[in-house]
């Protein structure tokens, strides 16, 4: 008798779940599953798999070094900063070593990316 009661409760639970699944939810679940399978399928490509692994390793290294947290702080600080426009402010900033280093970094990054075409 105890087994029958347990089976009945499971059947009611399954029926309630089935009733709760509207056509819209079912369609969204199917779309999500299809998109997930497509992403997993792309990992079969050796170039994509290697790139994803390199990217994950890089993110891990950035996180361990604290660089991701620092980048977040920089973004917040920059958003709060008031920019005093004008050509003389810009010329003044160009004379600072940290500005020159930042510009050199951006130039090097762009040159590197152009080589990858």
Delimit the domains of the chain by residue range: 7-42, 48-81, 84-117
Mean pLDDT (whole number) for 17-36: 80
76-106: per-residue pLDDT in tens?
A: 988 898 877 789 888 888 999 999 999 999 9
Q: Is the predicted pLDDT of residue 20 greater than 60, yes or no?
A: yes
pTM confidence score: 0.53
**Is 94 within 8 Å of 100 (Cβ atoms)?**
yes
Q: Residue 71 has which token pair?
A: 């980048």
Q: Is the predicted pLDDT of residue 60 greater than 80, yes or no?
A: yes
**Is 17 within 8 Å of 8 (Cβ atoms)?**
no
Compute φ and ψ for 45, nearest 5 degrees.
-70, 120
Q: Is the predicted pLDDT of residue 22 greater than 90, yes or no?
A: no
| pLDDT in the model for residue 29 | 83
């Amino acid at each position: 008798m105890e087994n029958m009661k347990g089976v009945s409760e499971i059947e009611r639970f399954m029926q309630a779940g089935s009733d709760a699944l509207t056509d819209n939810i079912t369609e969204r679940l199917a779309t999500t599953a299809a998109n997930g399978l497509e992403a997993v399928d792309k990992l079969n490509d050796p170039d994509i798999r290697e790139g994803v692994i390199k990217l994950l390793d890089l993110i891990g290294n950035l996180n361990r070094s604290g660089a991701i947290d620092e980048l977040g702080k920089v973004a917040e600080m920059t958003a709060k900063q008031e920019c005093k426009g004008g050509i003389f402010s810009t010329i003044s900033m160009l004379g600072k070593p940290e500005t020159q280093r930042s510009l050199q970094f951006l130039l090097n990054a762009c040159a590197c990316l152009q080589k990858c075409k």
